[in-house]
Amino acid sequence: MPVRALSGIAAAAWVSLTMAVAHAEPVLVGGDADYDACPTEGVVHRLDPNGDNFLAVRDGPGTQHRMLQKLFSGDRVYICSNSGAWLGVVYGPGDCGVSGPIPTRSVYAGPCRAGWVHRSFIREVAG
C-alpha cells in the first residue's frame, strides 16, 4: 500500500478518534455576592458493592468524558454546577474556598479538586 494511502487512513482514524472524545467542561462556582460559591453539600452514597464500588469523577458532564479520579461512599462534595443528570462538584480537605461568596461566576481554580459526577450517587446533606 502506498505511503500516501496509509497517511490518509491514519489521518481519518485520528479525526474519528478526536471527534469521539468530548472536551473538558470546567466546574463553575460563585455568581452571587450573598450566597456561598457552592451552596449545597453532598455525600457519595448508593454505590454498588458488587460492582466497581466507586463513583467516577469526570472532566465533563457525561460518560464520554475522561475519568479524573474516584470517590467512595461517604466522601463529601460541594455541589457547584449542574448539567442534566450531572453535578459539577468540588471536593477535598477543608472548605476548598467555596463556603463563602464569590460574586462573579468563574471556573474553579483550587485549592481542591473539581469534576463532574452523576447525581444519582450524591445525597444532599446541607444547603
Q: Is residue 12 part of a domain?
A: no
Range of the domain at 56: 24-126
Residue 116 burial class via C-beta count within 10 angstroms: exposed 0-12, middle 13-18, buried 19 and up: buried
The three cell numbers locating residue 99? 463556603
pLDDT in tens, the chain (127 residues): 444 444 444 444 433 333 445 679 999 999 999 999 999 999 999 999 899 999 999 999 999 999 999 999 999 999 999 999 999 999 999 889 999 999 999 999 999 999 999 999 999 998 7
Q: 23 phi and psi, to 5 degrees?
A: -85, 150
Region for 25 from its dihedrals, namely left if φ exceeds 0, alpha if ψ lies in -120 to 50, beta otherwise? beta
Q: Is residue 1 part of a domain?
A: no
- Asked if 71 contacts 114 with a C-beta cutoff of 8 angstroms, the reply is no
Task: Map residue 22 onto helix, strand or coil.
Answer: coil
Q: What is the CATH number of the domain that holds 30?
A: 2.30.30.40
Q: What is the pTM of this model?
A: 0.81
Q: Is residue 76 part of a domain?
A: yes
Q: Is residue 5 part of a domain?
A: no
- pLDDT, residue 19, reads 40
Q: Is residue 106 part of a domain?
A: yes
Q: How many independent structural domains does the chain possess?
A: 1
Across the chain, mean pLDDT equals 87
Q: Is residue 53 part of a domain?
A: yes
The three cell numbers locating residue 9? 487512513
Q: Is residue 7 part of a domain?
A: no
Q: Which H or E run contains 13?
A: helix 3-20
- 38-66 pLDDT, tens digit per residue, is 999 999 999 998 999 999 999 999 999 99
Instruction: Name every residue whose Cβ is closer than 8 Å to that of residue 22 and which is 6 or more positions away in sequence.
Output: 60, 62, 64, 65
Q: Is residue 112 part of a domain?
A: yes
